[in-house]
Each structure stands twice: as structure tokens, then as C-alpha cells.
Amino acid sequence: MTVTFEHVTLGQRVLFGAGKAAAHLSAEVGRLGAGRVMVIAGSSEAPLVEKLCAGIDVVLYYNDVAPHVPVGKAEKARAAALAHGIDLVVCVGGGSTTGLAKAIALTTHLPIIAVPTTYAGSEATNVWGLTEASRKTTGVDDHVLPVSVIYDAELTLSLPAGLSVASGLNALAHCIDSMWAPRADPINQALAAEGIRALAGGLPLIKHNPQDLAGREQALYGAYLSAVAFASAGSGMHHKICHVLGGAYNMPHAETHAVVLPHVLAYNAPFAPDAERRIAAALGTADAVAGLEALRSVLAAPTALKDHGLAEAAIPQAVELILPAIPGSNPRPVSAMELEHLLRAAYVGTTPAAPSMPRKESSHA
């Protein structure tokens, strides 16, 4: 059998090491020759940022950050960067902080150094997202890819176990979606499989002992692999669902991904047997759906969208918004009825099960 594919690897410098973030940041700022640095971080990260930035000169500390990057906040941050003559943006935090840095880079082309404190993975992708009038728009642009990423597991120690689990399952969703996303290929599938293995090993250690640095290092490593796979493979059905829910209903990013993931896996797995076997093997189980549920049980993962702000009355509208965005390459055809059934199951929090084959009349709309 002949193997044919086209793969693109994004160029990025990655520095990984516990307790080394401050030294790595100082070295990277020097390497890039930056003289006017803007640091983006939420106000809760202020003590961490003070230590992290002790070795660099910061012109502007910026903390007006919000989930899903509202357009108004993006424009305000861009204006601040221009007003202060910024030549480098450093973002410290999770996906919201990285997203705002990307919004600045999208129009200014300023370089970014990302210092993640969660497992969101946005730091390793060239994907941006902005929300306006309750609709989230995403795109791809190499200018938003951080030039450097500094990973330090010690910076994640303050992330509570519950948020660590949700954030880690968001990373796991990057891996699983990459198995059948529009540009899936043997390379990003291999990265995704290793990411699943690392996350499945690290997250239970964090749940058992939130101060377990080895578990957090594994999860951080897995999160990076998941993001690289996702950046290469593109957005599959899972991410299209979650992007719409997050933007339209202001739902928390990580928890939404954590709840939706098992339902999409159960929906697609019977129609992607090779991917299902790889996912199962990475989880160390014979069945991918059962393996994910076992992991989620150990982690006491979020289970229901109703617990995170989705109103049941919004589900029909959500179906209308999501259906056109689902890739035609999804392993299983998707109809409005099937999508609504999936969302209602995720809303209530029922345990997903692998479905029967779809009826002949089902079609992607």
C-alpha cells in the first residue's frame, strides 16, 4: 500500500525545564534583541509575573484579559502596544492570555514569547480566535505563532487539580481530534498518540497529588504535543462544536472541551477503526471509548454542559450554528438530528456509548 501525504511543520523554539522559566525568558528576550517588552497576564498572575520578569525590562504590564478574546479587548490591547512602541509581546497564563497576544500579533506582526501556566496548547499553534456579537471567528496566520515557548512545570503548580484536569482534557481533545481532522497524516497522528499517552499518564498523578511535579511535567509535554498535532491536522468535529459553544454562549473553554470530547469520540470511533485503535493503544486499553471513560472516572472529569452555562433551550440554535462548520471529512456523516442528540447527551451528562451505524438518509449538511 502506498502512503501519500503532505505535512507542514511549524518553526518555533521550545525551552522546557522546571524552575528555569525566568532564566529562559531573559535569554530569549536578549536573543531577540527586544528593548520594549509588553507582558500580558491576568491580575491573579501578578506575583508569578514579578518573579518571572525580574531579569528583563518591561515597558508595559497588561492585564485586561477575557476568555474567547472579545474584539473590543483585542483592539484596546493593539492600541496599547502601538502607543508604547512595543517590539515584543510576552504572554503568561492560559489560552485567554495567549489568545490576546495572538490578536495583537495578527495586525501588528509583533513577535510573541509564550509562557503557559495551563495545558491549553494555544502557544504551539498558528490559530487565532476572536469573538464579536456572541460569534467566535477563528483563522490561521503564521504571524500569530509564538516565536518561542517556555515551559516550566513549576508555573502550573498553582493551577488547582480540577482546572488542571479540565485543561488537560482540552489538550487530550486536541490529540483525539487530530486523528481525523481535515489534514490528519501519519506524522501528526504519531504526535497525537504520544500526547495521549503522556496526558493519560500525567493527569492522574496531578489528581492524586496536585503538587506532583513529575505528573505536571508529563501533562505539559503532552499538551505541547497535542497542540503541534492540532496545528498540523486542523480543526475536526470536536473543536468546531466547542468553538461555537464557547463563542455563542460564553462557556468556559476547558470545561466545555472536557464534557464534549467523549461524546464526539463515541460518535466517530466506529467509523475510524484505525484511529480508534491508536487512541485505545495510547490510553493503554482495548477500546478507545471505554478507555477514555475510565480515565475520566479516575479524574472526576466534568460531565454535563448544563453545569457550565449552557441553557437547554439554546441547543436547537447551537445545532444550526455548528452543523455548517463540521468538516466534510469527518469519519461519520453528521445530520442535524444526530448532532442535536449528541448535544443533548452532553448537556445532561449521560455516559456516551459507541453508536450503531447511521441510517442511509443521514447526511452532512
> Mean pLDDT of residues grouped by 10 in the chain (365 residues)?
85 96 98 97 92 96 94 97 98 95 98 95 93 87 97 94 94 96 95 98 96 96 96 94 92 94 97 97 97 97 96 97 96 97 96 54 37
Cell of 80: 496599547
pTM above 0.75, yes or no: yes
Give the distance, in angstroms, between the CA of residue 236 and the centroid of all CA atoms in the same chain. Answer: 13
Domain ranges of the chain: 13-156, 161-348
Closest CA to 258 of 352, 124, 167: 167
Identify the residue whose cell numbers are 485586561: 64
Helices 161-178 and 237-249: angle between axes, nearest 10 degrees? 130
CATH of the domain spanning 13-156, picked from 3.40.50.1970, 3.30.420.40, 3.90.1150.10, 3.30.470.10: 3.40.50.1970
User: What pLDDT score was predicted for residue 146?
Assistant: 98
CATH of the domain spanning 161-348, picked from 3.40.50.150, 3.40.50.300, 1.20.1090.10, 3.40.50.720: 1.20.1090.10
Which stretches of 17-160 are DSSP H helices? 21-32, 46-52, 71-83, 95-108
Which residues in 199-222 are b (16+ Cβ under 10 Å) and which e?
Answer: bbbbbbbbbeebebbebbbbbbbb
Does residue 296 contact residue 164 with C-beta atoms inside 8 Å?
no
User: What pLDDT score was predicted for residue 357?
Assistant: 45
Does residue 87 contact residue 69 with C-beta atoms inside 8 Å?
no
